[in-house]
Amino acid sequence: MGLGQLLCGFFGFWLDYLDLQRTSSVVSVRHGRLMAINEKVWQLDEPDAERPLIGLEDPVEVTHNLGRVLTNRTLGIVRSEIQQARDHLAAGQPLSRLLVPPPDR
């Protein structure tokens, strides 16, 4: 399998995961798998904190949920960027072109 196929699979995984927003699983880089939400204990910043949109374990500080900073708007932007990257690679476009931001940004 080539790098482009691996990256398409990677981006496809994240698109599927993001489509399941407010899911009952957490992405764990340390364990290399999805974990059930009840397997993970998050350290909440505030007692009345809202449940994050997604669970993404920080590989350095494991009680920190990287997904807690995403809003519906920013999650949509992240999802759009991931889909654009997957579609770009699936169409056979070079990786080098994907890594260069468009001039209007």
Residue (of 81, 75, 62) closest to 20 by Cα position: 75
Which two structure tokens, joined as six digits, stand for 87? 């579609």
> Which pLDDT value is given to residue 27?
75
**pLDDT tens per residue, the chain (105 residues)?**
677 788 888 888 878 777 765 556 777 767 777 777 777 776 665 555 566 667 777 878 878 887 777 777 888 888 888 898 889 888 888 888 877 777 765
H/E element, 27 = strand 25-28
> Which pLDDT value is given to residue 97?
82
Domain extents in the chain: 3-98
> Which pLDDT value is given to residue 68?
79
